[in-house]
Amino acid sequence: MPDYPDQLTTQELQTLDGAHHIHPFTDSAGIKAHGARIISRAEGVYLWDSDGNKLLDGMAGLWCVNLGYGRKELVDAAAQQMLQLPYYNTFFQTTHPPAIMLAKRLGELAPGDLNRVFFSGSGSEANDTNLRMVRHYWSCLGKPEKHVVISRKNAYHGSTVAAASLGGMAFMHAQGGLPIPGITHIEQPYWYGEGGDLSAAEFGLARARLLEDEIDRIGDDKVAAFIAEPVQGAGGVVIPPATYWPEIQRICDEHEILLIVDEVITGYGRTANWFASQTFNICPDIMTTAKGLSSGYLPIGASLVCDKVADVLEEKGGEFAHGYTYSGHPVACAVALESLHILEKEKIIENLQKDIAPYLAEKWQTLADHPLIGEARICGMMAAIELTPDKVARAPFAGERGQAGLICRDICFANGLVMRSVGDTMVISPPLVITKPQIDELIELAFKSLDMTEQKLAQDGLLKSTV
C-alpha cells in the first residue's frame, strides 16, 4: 500500500493540499492561507484530526454517515463483493445480483408504489436523471411541451449542471450561467426568516399556494414537475409549517404535475421514519435518494420511481438514452444492502422513534434559552438554531450575513464539536446511532460554544441587530 499520512506532518500535508487539491465549496485562497483541517480517522460518532484532536461529528460527515464510522459489516460486505465481482455494468440488458437485490429491497421499503429504481453515483446525478425522466415521461404521453420543472429558492439538489439549476442557491447560479432554461423557482417555506406577521400555519399555506400561482402563470400544459426537499437541509434545516405539504400535494394532484421529493438527506431514517414522505404524509411520484443509502461508505444514488411513471416509460419510452458507468455499481449496492440490513436488524429507526429522537428534541430545545438563540427547531435527527443579536425581536445581525455563523462554527470546532453554519443558522445532523450520553455531550459543547461565540461577537462589536 502507498504510505502517506503517518510520515507527513500536518503542515506538510496542508502545503501539498494547497498546492494540488481544488476543494468543493471552498475558497482556494483562504484554504491556502490557513491550511485545511485534516481528518485522519474516525470511530462511532467521533473524528480525529491529524493533530490527534477528537471531535464529535454532529453532521454525520455531510449528512450521510448514518450508522457512524468503523462499521466492520460494511467493510466486509464491500471486500466480499470486490472479490466476487468488483465491477460490471447494468447497460445493454445486463445486470448482477447486488443491483437486483437492492432494487427489490428499495421497492419494498419505499412508501406507496415507488417500486422501480434507477441507480446513479450520487444525489446530483439522481436529480439529473429525474429531470430527463419527467420530461421524457410527458413526451411519451404526447406532451413534450410539458417540460418546465418548478423548484424553490434556497433549495439544494446537487452540484451538476441540472441539479444546481434545480437548486435555488443564488450564489451557485452566479457561477457558470445557471439555471439552465425550463426551470423556475418559487419562495421557500422559511417561517423564522420570512414569515413576517403571519402565523406559521398561515405562512405555510401562503407559500404552498405560490406553487399554484406559478403553475397558473406558466400553464398546466407546460409544467412537468415540482421538486422539493421535505425539509431543506443545506438551506438551513428549514422545516415547513404543518400546513405546507398537504397543500402542495393537493396542488400537484389537481394540476397533474409530477411531484419529485428529494430525500437525499431525509431518506433512510433521518426524520425518525424510513422516509420523510411518511413523516409529512407526502405521496411522491419520484423520490431522490443517496447519502444515507450506503451510510456514506461508498457513493451511490437511487431515483425511486412510481408505477404510473415507470409503466409509461416501459410501454412507450423505448430505450431510455441515459445511464452512468457506475449505475448500480455492485460494491456500492452490496454496501447499501448491508447498511439497510443493519438499520433493520438493530431496530435503529424504532429506537429513534421511541427513545433517541424525543431525547434529542428535548435537549435541543434547551438551546432556545441561550441569549444568542432566536429559535431552536428539530425534525427527527436534523436540527437548527438561529443566532440572533436580539432574542426578543429575532432580528438578523447588522453586519454581513453569515459572519456570526462562521465564528460560531470555528469555535465549535475548537471545542471538539462539528456543527455546520448556514448563514447565521447552525445545523446538526448527527449519526443515527448517537447515544444519550453523546447527545448530552453535544448539547454541552453547543452551550459552551454559544457562550464563547457571544463573548467574541461582543468583543468584536458584532452583537448589533438591524432593528
Ligand X SMILES: *Cc1c(COP(=O)(O)O)cnc(C)c1O
Binding site for ligand X (CB under 6 A): 122-124, 156-158, 229, 233-234, 262, 264-265, 290-291
Q: Which is nearer to ligand X, 122 or 388 (CB)?
A: 122
**Position 302, amino acid:** A
Q: Distance (Å, rounded) from C-alpha 436 to C-alpha 356?
A: 7
Q: Which is nearer to ligand X, 154 or 453 (CB)?
A: 154
Q: Which is nearer to ligand X, 162 or 411 (CB)?
A: 162
Q: Which is nearer to ligand X, 340 or 404 (CB)?
A: 340
Using CA atoms of 370, 376, 378, 381 in order, give the dihedral in degrees to the nearest 10: -30
Provide the 10 A C-beta neighbour count for residue 95: 14
* Shortest separation between residue 261's beta carbon and ligand X, angstroms: 10
Q: Which is nearer to ligand X, 237 or 373 (CB)?
A: 237
Q: Which is nearer to ligand X, 133 or 457 (CB)?
A: 133
Q: Count of residues for the chain? A: 467
**Position 50, amino acid:** S
Q: Which is nearer to ligand X, 234 or 348 (CB)?
A: 234
The CB-nearest residue to ligand X is 123
* Shortest separation between residue 62's beta carbon and ligand X, angstroms: 7
* Shortest separation between residue 27's beta carbon and ligand X, angstroms: 19
Q: Which is nearer to ligand X, 172 or 433 (CB)?
A: 172
Phi then psi for residue 161, to 5 deg, are: -60, -45
Q: Distance (Å, rounded) from C-alpha 357 to C-alpha 352?
A: 5
**Position 89, amino acid:** N
Q: Which is nearer to ligand X, 78 or 302 (CB)?
A: 302
* Shortest separation between residue 230's beta carbon and ligand X, angstroms: 9
Provide the 10 A C-beta neighbour count for residue 198: 15
Side by side, which strands form the sheet with 116-120?
Answer: 116-120, 301-305, 286-289, 258-262, 223-228, 148-152, 183-186
* Shortest separation between residue 157's beta carbon and ligand X, angstroms: 5
Q: Which is nearer to ligand X, 120 or 403 (CB)?
A: 120
Q: Distance (Å, rounded) from C-alpha 162 to C-alpha 183?
A: 9
CA distances from 119 to 41, 362, 421 (A): 29, 38, 31
* Shortest separation between residue 231's beta carbon and ligand X, angstroms: 9
Given a contact cutoff of 8 angstroms between Cβ atoms, the answer to whether 106 and 337 are in contact is no
Closest CA to 181 of 133, 228, 131: 131
Task: For residue 339, give the H/E element and its range.
Answer: helix 330-345
349 alpha-carbon distance from chain centroid? 18
Given a contact cutoff of 8 angstroms between Cβ atoms, the answer to whether 47 and 26 are in contact is no
* Shortest separation between residue 185's beta carbon and ligand X, angstroms: 15
* Shortest separation between residue 74's beta carbon and ligand X, angstroms: 18
Q: Distance (Å, rounded) from C-alpha 169 to C-alpha 213?
A: 21
Phi then psi for residue 89, to 5 deg, are: -90, 170
**Position 444, amino acid:** E
Side by side, which strands form the sheet with 382-387?
Answer: 373-379, 382-387, 425-428, 420-422
* Shortest separation between residue 166's beta carbon and ligand X, angstroms: 9
* Shortest separation between residue 421's beta carbon and ligand X, angstroms: 16
Q: Which is nearer to ligand X, 2 or 24 (CB)?
A: 24
Q: Distance (Å, rounded) from C-alpha 369 to C-alpha 362?
A: 12
Query: Which grid coordinates belong to 200?
Result: 406559521
Q: What is the DSSP string of 392-418?
A: TTTBPBSSSTTHHHHHHHHHHHHTTEE
Q: Which is nearer to ligand X, 71 or 157 (CB)?
A: 157
* Shortest separation between residue 122's beta carbon and ligand X, angstroms: 3
Q: Distance (Å, rounded) from C-alpha 141 to C-alpha 352?
A: 43
How many separate helices (H) and strands (E) can be counted in the chain?
18, 15
* Shortest separation between residue 377's beta carbon and ligand X, angstroms: 18
